[in-house]
Every structure is written in structure tokens, then in C-alpha cells.
A and B are shown apart, each in its own frame.
Chain A
Amino acid sequence: MTGRVLHLSLDLLDRQLRDRDGVECGKVDDLELTRDADGQLWVSAILAGPGVLAYRLGRRRIGRWLQRAHHRLDPPTDGPDDADPTRIPLPLATNIAANVDLAVNRVDLATYATERWVGDHVIGHIPGHDHDGGDDAPSQ
């Protein structure tokens, strides 16, 4: 099996994720690596969401706490991975360049949970929240 060889920390980690509509949906907080039968390491999934970055930077307790809080706040529904919503299997990444483009809708990702919560509980209650504040920019 051959695939693209990347310098993970330079070219993949901490890159901006964009969903299938081109909207920002988090950063590549961490990566899941799998070793195949020949001992070769492959990137099998992108990890992004509450607690993942903290975990990667060594703040494990904060990371786990954030993950559990998020779980309670927004239990996984039909995300790309039901058991772990922060896990985005790599086949869903359609392009890896300056950004990483994903073939999913952002609302199915763990990174969207707090956005939805804030929208429902705070911003949604302020009049004018649907008003496009831009000039000629198309609203999403």
C-alpha cells in the first residue's frame, strides 16, 4: 500500500478544517495513527473537538473533563463515528492542502456542539441574529 507521505506536524496538525460547504469547523487537534500488518504507520483518523487538544498538549485531566462535559451537553447522534464524535475517519478528508476539506456537514461534528448550544441559548435570543452583517458577501 502506498499513500501520501506528509510531515504531520508541519502539514497536517493544527490545520483548519472546512466542511463540505466550505465553512470552518475546527482545527486538526490530533491524529489517530494505526499500524498495519507490515508495521507501517498510517493516519487513520483526524481528531477534533472539545478536550482533544488539551489531551495532546499533556493536560490529560482537563482534556478528559472537557470530553465528558461535551458528551453530556451533546450526545452523539449521526456523526461520522457514533462512539466518538471527535473522530473523523481519514477517508472523509477530500483534500489536504492549506486547509483540510471534509466531506461531512459541520453539524455532525463534535466541533459544532458548542456552536449549536450558544446559538440556541444565547445568540438565538438576540433580535437580528439572522441578519447578514456583510456587504455583498453571500450569507452561509
Chain B
Amino acid sequence: MKRLLGVFLGVLSAIGGFVDIGDLVANAAAGARFRMNLAWVVVVGVIGIIVYAEMAGRVAAVSGRPVFDLVRERLGPRFALANVGASFFINFLTLTAEVAGVAIAISLLTSINYLLLVPAAAVLVWLVIWRMPFSLMEQVFGMLGLCLIVFAVAVWKIGPDWNQLFSAAAHPHVPSTETPFTYAYYAIALFGAAMTRYEVFFFSSGAVEERWTVKDLGENRINVLIGFPLGGLLSLSIMACAHLLLADAHISVGTLDQVALPVAMTLGKVGLAAVLIGIFAATFGAALETALSSGYVIAQHLGWPWGKHLAPRRATRFHLVIILTLTGGLLFALSGVDPVKVTEYSIVLSAAALPLTYFPILVVANDPSYMGTHTNGRFLNAIATIYLVILLVVALVTIPLMIITKAGQ
């Protein structure tokens, strides 16, 4: 019974933790601009993250080693260094966006200018990392993030023509007001938002933090196979809300309150409160994960002691990296950068850099010296290889598309 509860909590945390500021912005912006013509990208992204996270979790549970630990020894220090550099930088952008997102969520609730709240948000994130136990942290913010279900409730309340909705999603095309280039750019942004890399760093390090073993593989699979698709449905609800209420009114999404607007319009004050709590939880949870990931990336690459489960005195450099990165993110956010722009850059660059961490995991997941009998099956390898090709294509076209479309104009 206790086991079932654990699994149930795990799934709920996976759903609530799936959505972060990247998904909020990307799905809302895509829905407002492209209606449901990019819905298929979310589906592709969800399958991708399922494959990716399952492998990462399995590698961590069976070998006891998380991602960056293995990148260096499997692919050499030069590749690893490039990987660490790119990953750390993109992670930093994401962290800044999430911390800003937390501040914005609080500012929408309290009407205080969000810039004043950025330092408080960063300190709060650090305090939780410093003191709150790992699984409690995951569960609390995962569950609170479930408030975002209000987007699905809003769609149901609007009561659209369901046939039309599904048909629009199932027959994507490039709208006449857009070019194939902007369409592709937004597709990459959505893809990057779904296949969030820090999620995978966090996932595999988290598995080691919580001392997963082979016995936990089943639970890992359930979390991933049920939680992520439901999270994807949540993303699609955000897109549908924007499509139904913002697109006709030609409201484009440039700020977080525009993301929340459809819910406020449909469900009034209660809906607004729920969505703001959900946005706060989603961005706070993601801020925790990206902050920890910055520590994981550096510490695992260099072989330092790492982990939330250790007292800070036992993992000093790991915690110092987290503190410094949070401080840097806080300063960057305070410099007045548009948090939505930072979010967009972080998800797009994240998509482009996916092969860097995906490839090593795929290699190790097939290596019996780490995995024993738990290497990838043939079916999984087939899908995983298809995704590797997709990721490489995305990596190649991202920068050119960014230049051509001037970052999505």
C-alpha cells in the first residue's frame, strides 16, 4: 500500500514537475500565433523525453552513476569539457529565466514590481536547497504544480468544438500569416521546452541521490510513462487556451500574465489564483532543479563529492557552485533582461545542445559493463536512434533558423 502511494506521488510529481516557464511561454506563444498547428511537436517531444529520461534513470539506478560522471570517462575529457561548458551556460540561462519566473509569479499575486522580488526569489531557492530534503522538495513542488491543471479545466469550460480542435491538431499546416521558417523555429522552441535537459541531469542525479537500485526501475518507468504524457497534455491545454482565446483577438504572448490570461477570462479569480500558484510552483521547482544541476554538472565532471543528501560541509565546492550560479542568475535577472526572451533563448539553445547529453546516455545505456543485463532492448534502441537523428537535425538547423527569423519575429 505504501509502495502504491509512493508510485502515485511519483507520478503526480512528474506531471506537476513537467511544466516549467519554458513550457508555459512556448505553448502559450505557439497557441496564440500558430493555433493548434504545432500540437504534434509536443507529442514528439513527450515521446522523446520519455525515452531520454527512462534511459537516464535506468543508467543511474543500475550503474549508480549520473550523467556527467559518465560523459567524461566514456567520451573523453575534451568532449566532456565542451559538453560541460555548453550545458552549464544553457543551464544558467534557464536558471535565470526560472528565478525571474518565480519573481513574476509572486509579483502577479502581490502587485509588487518583480525586479524587487528577484533577490528574494533567489534566496528562497537557495534556502530550500540548503535545508529541505530531496524527496520532500520534489513532492511538494510537484504537487503544487498540479494547480496548472486549471488550464485543462479552462479548456473544458470554454467548451470548444472538440472535433474541430482535434482535427486542427491532427492536420497541421503553416498558417498563411507565417513563414515555414518561423514555424520551424517555434517547433524547435516547443521541442526544447518539452525535452528539457536539466530535467534529465536532475533526473539521473536525483536517482543517485535517492539511492535508486534495480528494484526501483519499475517505479521509474511508471513515473515516466504516465507522468510525462499527462504533463504533455497539460502543455497542450496551455496551447489550446491560447488558441481559443488569444489567437482570435490577436494577442501575442510576451509576458507571463498573458499566459495566465485565458484562465482568468474563463474561471475568474479562483482560476487566476490557482494558475498563479501553479506558475509559482512550476518555476520554483524548475529553479531548484536548474540550480542543483549547475552543481551536478561541475562536481560530477571534476569528481568532487556532490549531492543534496550530503551535509554541505561534506560537499563544499558543490554548494559553492550552486551559490555562485544563483548569485549570477540573480544579477543577470536584475539587469533588466526580458525574462520571456531569456526563456526563449534557453529553450531554443537547449534543443540545439540536446545531442551532447543524449548521445552519451544512449552509448552507456547499451554498455553491459555499466548496465549488466539492463541494456537497451532492440525496440527501444530503434526509437532512441530515430530520436538521435531528430536531435542532430534540430541541432544543425537551430542557429541558422535563429538568424533567419531573427529569433522568431
**Chain A contact residues, CB within 8 Å of chain B:** 9, 13-17, 23-27, 48, 53, 56-57, 98, 111, 114-116, 118-119, 122-124, 126, 128-135, 137, 139-140
Contacts and interface: CB of A to CB of B under 8 A. Distances in A.
Closest 9 interchain pairs by CB?
A134-B309, A27-B303, A137-B309, A119-B316, A118-B316, A26-B303, A14-B73, A129-B312, A123-B316
A16 B73 contact: yes
A115 B373 CA distance: 37
A133 B136 CA distance: 11
A81 B90 CA distance: 40
B33 interface: no
B133 A128 contact: no
Interface in B286-332: 302-314, 316-317, 319-320, 323
Contacts of B323: 122
Contact of B77 (A14, A119, A139): A14
Residue of A23, A53, A137 ringed by the most chain B CB atoms within 10 A:
A137
Interface of A is mostly: loop
Interface string B133-158: 11110000000000000000000000
A115 B318 CA distance: 9
B311 A139 contact: yes
B326 to A, nearest CB: 13
Interface of B: 63, 65, 69, 72-73, 76-78, 80-81, 129-136, 209-211, 302-314, 316-317, 319-320, 323, 369-370
B310 A140 contact: yes
Given A98-B63, A98-B65, A123-B320, A133 B313 contact: no
Contact of B304 (A115, A123, A132, A139): A115
27 contacts: A14-B80, A23-B314, A24-B303, A24-B305, A25-B305, A27-B302, A27-B303, A98-B63, A98-B370, A118-B317, A122-B316, A122-B320, A123-B319, A126-B130, A128-B312, A129-B312, A129-B313, A130-B311, A130-B312, A130-B313, A131-B311, A132-B310, A133-B309, A135-B134, A137-B211, A139-B311, A140-B305
Contacts of B136: 135
B319 A57 contact: no
B303 A115 contact: no
A126 B303 CA distance: 24
B168 to A, nearest CB: 46
A132 B311 contact: yes
A78 to B, nearest CB: 21
Nearest to A27: B303
Contact of B131 (A114, A133, A137): A133
Nearest to A58: B78
Given A24-B303, A115-B304, A133 B78 contact: no
B122 to A, nearest CB: 15
